[in-house]
């Protein structure tokens, strides 16, 4: 059951990572002209269309993470401490706190991305999205490394 | 464009209050409840570890969430100037909280 939840947690995180990255790119470097290149297409996505999905994906991913966290605390963190993997352990501690701050940002994030968009809030939207993207990327990369840590040791 | 409602202050106030309250809750260990994962038991407030580690993270989230809801509702009672003031801090305070945790946990990375 834990492995199933972990895989589901990872899949939701991948979807969240893709959505928030697309939105952050579109919010910070929007493309004015239509173009055929991959990079320009990524910049031309409709950023507001992602916000609802991002809120739902964030809550689902974090809920699953919270369910799995107890298992991590009992079985994984102790191994990390025995391995003296202090940086990995600290990175995961940061992940839990960063994810919590991101959870608290969701109401404001949702509010500023509400349609019709307020042009005066463009910078706030871009900043909130960038901070949330940083949190999601951090959580994803650290989770991935911790998930593989025994593989590194084998 | 829609007129701002009296509740438009809530989201930004919630986000700012949550970041501050969560940082304080972690720093001072003000958890509303404790989870004992080895036993699968919950307890009110901050409890010492029993038969394994004690988890306070869920309790810190609850402390911050409750504080943020109350603060958000209070912000809705302040007319006019509150939302504009909150706009300036709504992303700065969470960034400050991230930096605070990086500083708080620096011992994991620097001996």
Q: What is the mean pLDDT of each run of 10 residues along chain A (154 residues)?
A: 89 96 89 72 75 96 94 86 88 96 97 88 94 97 84 46
Q: Which residues of A touch B2 (CB under 8 A)?
A: 116
Decide if pLDDT at B7 tops 90.
Answer: no
Cβ neighbours of A91 (radius 10 Å): 22
Model pLDDT, residue A149: 75
Decide if pLDDT at B84 tops 90.
Answer: no
B68-98 burial, b at 16+ Cβ within 10 Å, e below that, comes to: bbebbeebbeeeeebbeebbeebbebbeebb
- Write out pLDDT tens, residues B25-62: 999 999 999 999 999 999 999 999 988 899 999 999 99
d(C-alpha A60, C-alpha A72), whole Å: 18
Q: By percentage, how much of chain B surpasses pLDDT 90?
A: 70
- C-alpha distances in angstroms, A120 versus A62, A112, A117, A127, B25? 31, 10, 9, 13, 34
Paired with A32 in beta bridges are none
- Retrieve residue A1's tokens: 């059951």
pTM: 0.91
Interface confidence, given as ipTM, is 0.92
pLDDT-derived band at B102 (thresholds 50, 70, 90) equals very high
How far off is chain A from B8, nearest CA to CA, in Å? 8
Cβ contact A19:A74 at 8 Å: no
B55·A98 Cβ contact <8 A: no
Model pLDDT, residue A14: 96
Model pLDDT, residue B106: 94
Decide if pLDDT at B81 tops 70.
Answer: no
- C-alpha distances in angstroms, B69 versus A20, A104, B18, B99? 25, 10, 8, 24
Nearest CA in chain B to A102: B94
Chain A residues near any Cβ of chain B (below 8 Å):
66, 69-71, 73-74, 77, 86-87, 89-91, 93-94, 96-98, 100-112, 116, 118, 121, 124, 127-128, 131, 134-135
Model pLDDT, residue A152: 46
């Amino acid at each position: 059951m834990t492995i199933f939840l972990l895989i589901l947690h990872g899949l939701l995180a991948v979807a969240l990572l893709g959505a928030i990255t697309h939105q952050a790119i579109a919010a910070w470097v929007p493309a004015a002209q239509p173009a055929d290149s991959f990079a320009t297409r990524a910049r031309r996505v409709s950023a507001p269309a992602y916000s609802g999905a991002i809120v739902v994906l964030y809550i689902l991913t974090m809920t699953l993470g919270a369910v799995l966290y107890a298992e991590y605390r009992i079985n994984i963190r102790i191994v990390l401490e025995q391995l003296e993997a202090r940086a990995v352990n600290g990175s995961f501690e940061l992940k839990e706190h960063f994810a919590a701050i991101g959870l608290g940002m969701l109401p404001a994030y949702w509010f500023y991305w509400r349609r019709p968009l307020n042009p005066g809030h463009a910078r706030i939207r871009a900043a909130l999205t960038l901070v949330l993207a940083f949190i999601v990327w951090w959580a994803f990369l650290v989770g991935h490394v911790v998930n593989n840590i025994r593989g590194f040791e084998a | 464009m829609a007129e701002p409602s009296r509740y438009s202050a809530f989201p930004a106030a919630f986000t700012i209050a949550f970041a501050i309250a969560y940082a304080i809750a972690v720093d001072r260990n003000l958890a509303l409840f404790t989870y004992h994962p080895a036993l699968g038991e919950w307890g009110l407030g901050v409890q010492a570890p029993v038969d394994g580690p004690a988890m306070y993270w869920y309790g810190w989230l609850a402390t911050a969430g409750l504080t943020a809801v109350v603060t958000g509702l209070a912000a809705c009672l302040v007319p006019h100037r509150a939302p504009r003031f909150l706009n300036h801090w709504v992303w700065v305070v969470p960034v400050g909280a991230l930096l605070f945790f990086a500083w708080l946990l620096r011992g994991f990375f620097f001996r």
